Amino acid sequence: MNNTNDLRFHCIRCGSCCTDLDTLVNTTYSDIIRIKNGLNLNLDETIEILGFYVFDKEPTTKEINRMVVPPIETERGLAFVGLKKRSNGRCYFYDETKKKCSIYDFRPNFCRTFPFTFKLLIDKESPKKSEIEIFYTEKGLKYCHGIEENAPIIDKDNWIQIGQKVIQDLTQNNVLIKEWNKGVKENKISPSVRNFILTISNLE
């Protein structure tokens, strides 16, 4: 299927993106705050719904720079922050009986934009003319049953608007992570997960 023109998609609620064993649902700090507030969670409950996935082998700076959401320094080392998964690989918030997301209104941007990803194409001579392009993600092409030839062509303008918000959110998130990781390296910040959640909660 063509990956640049006339993207086709219609979510058929197959649940593959919520149940794939190898898919981690990454969260920005604003995703975490939205879920925390939406579900009225306290600090411990917020930590409980998150997974802090420590890398087996610490990634290089080059690898980190290529990541959409970079890892944070924690007491156990560099960790990727995402929603917790259950032992069968399903997202913590996937309702297996009803076969749907139990936090739909508060779900992370990753879920809102799946199976798409966005790229800011910067026009160096005229930055105002920079454009956002939309693509299928690799995982989307691999297992999203909503991408198929008979699905309707997406409203690209609408998706690009979503993409703008997501890119803005990711930019803010990645600035915060950079500052957090720098503060930890300089021994100015305690790298505990608890302190991370406290810090982002205090940003509100």
Closest among 58, 54, 57 to 75, alpha carbons compared:
54
**Cβ 18 to ligand SF4, closest distance in Å?**
3
Integer angstrom CA distances of residue 178 from 26, 72, 171, 182, 196: 17, 8, 11, 6, 13
Q: Three-class SS of residue 1?
A: coil
From residue 110 to residue 149, the character string flagging contacts with ligand SF4 as x (rule: CB under 6 A) and all else as - is: -x--xx----------------------------xxx---
Among 93, 118, 136, 196, binds ligand SF4 (CB under 6 A): 93
Closer of 115 and 191 to ligand SF4 (Cβ): 115
Identify the H or E element spanning 177. Answer: helix 156-185
From residue 48 to residue 87, the character string flagging contacts with ligand SF4 as x (rule: CB under 6 A) and all else as - is: -----------------------------------x----
**Cβ 57 to ligand SF4, closest distance in Å?**
26
Largest Cα span, the chain: 55
User: Which residues are within 8 A (CB) of 159 and not within 5 positions of it... i.e. 6 or more apart?
Assistant: 116, 134
Among 29, 52, 80, 94, binds ligand SF4 (CB under 6 A): 94
